[in-house]
Structure 1
Amino acid sequence: MDSSKLTKESLAKLFDHTFLKAYATSDDLKSLCEQAKTMNTAMVAINTAWTAFCKKELEGTDVHVGAAIGFPLGQCGLETKLFECNYAIEQGADEIDYVIDVGQAKMHNWAYIREEMEKMTAICKEKNILIKVIFENCYLEKEEIQKLSEIAKEVKPDFIKTSTGFGTGGATVEDVKLMKDTVQDAVQVKAAGGIRDWKTCKAMIDAGATRIGTSSSIQILKEFEEATK
């Protein structure tokens, strides 16, 4: 994607406007949804418990509700993830972002990673729900990121995603490029974690990201407008 061709409106549609804090209240989520409606973002990214609440708040808009599954550690077991995924969809989720079992990736148990990705993707595809697979790259070697991307290229979830934003590091341009170069056009790439300004956001888009997970959507759009006057 060429960031030079973006408008304020098309940039907003790349944002998964995010509030995933443990202390989220109904006021926080109501504010998040109001902001998302005003900006007309792609999605609000929220913890599963808030799915039905946000679905109601966003009724009559095309802003999606995205539930974070197995978040943020990915260590709850596959059956738990499948249950949570189904529950979130029943509650009205339009998109699912799930965290892989990073420990299994570190052990190079690629059969487990593939099974997890296949089963989560199958649930979402059957119900016409977008699915994004979170790698949590800060804990991975480059070869492991590439291997995960190769598996995704074969399984074909809608997106692979750099980070939860709760690890020791977030998105990097190098990782986005590696992921994009590996999956090419078979899967899209979402950059998330530490994207708080237009300069960083632009770099991720130019590297190949077609979704941006951020809690700083308002600030980024403001900086974009100033930069493109």
Structure 2
Amino acid sequence: MTVQELAKMIDHTLLSPFAKEADLKAHCEIAKKYNFKTVAINNATIELCKEELKDSDVLCDAAVSFPLGQCTLDTKVFETIDAIEKGAMEVDYVVNLVKLKSGDWDYVEEEMTRIVAECNKRNAVSKVIFENCYLDESEKRKLCEIATRVKPTFIKTSTGFGTGGATLEDVKLMKECVGDAIKIKAAGGVRTIDQALAMIEAGASRIGTSNGVAIVDAYKERV
């Protein structure tokens, strides 16, 4: 894997609720310098970041119903469409954990189906955030089973705002369940090159991190 191939596996993340516009502009400049795949941002900042990235191939990655997943389904669908219309080409949404924990799998599948469909209509990448720190193994497997029917572009381990982030065990489990049919994004707590490479070895093809610069710089030294 080349340095550039690694950089293109990184969603360069800035989801702080109190980031200033200057911080977001600097974030985009770094993303362009390193040629990351996306900047992962809150929806209110999409238009600003889209303008900053207009002379590059770095994309905007929108966080929908973030980080709790507790918007209504219609709200999530609207937010997805609005984010794409504002300039996002990738969408990461959080599943409704109350419905999931209550065993309402029909709702969970309908939610995934509708959001993925809106992304597909608009040629946008869809990512389903499981928030694995709150799930048991059977729930993780059930979500993977639903995903294999609905076929989002990615399933994702975590928001990074929960009680835990990505683990190798979760990435391996998700890979075991979906194989090559759906890609896996590891996010939350991936801060070093060794962690990133381990996640990729376990089956992740995208890394969500605010430490992309340190990860890529360390890889440059290594290779």
TM range (shorter): over 0.9
SS at 1:45 equivalent: strand
* 1:125 matched residue in structure 2: 120
* 1:41 matched residue in structure 2: 36
* 2:143 matched residue in structure 1: 148
Counterpart amino acid of 1:207? A
Do residues 211 (structure 1) and 189 (structure 2) align? no
Question: Equivalent pairs: percent with the same residue?
Answer: 54
Counterpart amino acid of 1:95? E
Shift of 1:223: 1.5
After TM superposition, the score normalised by the length of structure 1 is 0.96
C-alpha separation in 1, matches of 2:119 and 2:220: 36
Where structure 2 has 5 or more consecutive residues not aligned to the other structure, the ranges are none
SS at 1:226 equivalent: helix
Equivalence map 1:165-204=2 (5 Å): 165-204=160-199
Shift of 1:210: 0.3
C-alpha separation in 2, matches of 1:219 and 1:25: 22
Counterpart amino acid of 1:195? V
Report the count of equivalent residues: 223
Spell out, residue by residue over 1:102-152, the C-alpha distance to the aligned partner (whole angstroms, 9 max, x if none): 121112211011000000000000010001000000000011111101100
* 2:14 matched residue in structure 1: 19
Shift of 1:226: 2.3
* 1:84 matched residue in structure 2: 79
Shift of 1:227: 2.4
SS at 1:146 equivalent: helix
Shift of 1:157: 0.4
Do residues 159 (structure 1) and 149 (structure 2) align? no
1:94 to 78, 89, 93: 89
* 1:3 matched residue in structure 2: none
C-alpha separation in 2, matches of 1:45 and 1:8: 20
Spell out, residue by residue over 1:170-196, the C-alpha distance to the aligned partner (whole angstroms, 9 max, x if none): 000000011111111111000000000
Do residues 56 (structure 1) and 51 (structure 2) align? yes
User: Over aligned residues, Cα RMSD in angstroms?
Assistant: 0.7
Counterpart amino acid of 1:211? R
Counterpart amino acid of 1:219? A
Counterpart amino acid of 2:4? E
C-alpha separation in 2, matches of 1:171 and 1:114: 23
C-alpha separation in 2, matches of 1:98 and 1:25: 23
4+ runs deviating over 6 angstroms: none
Where structure 1 has 5 or more consecutive residues not aligned to the other structure, the ranges are 1-5
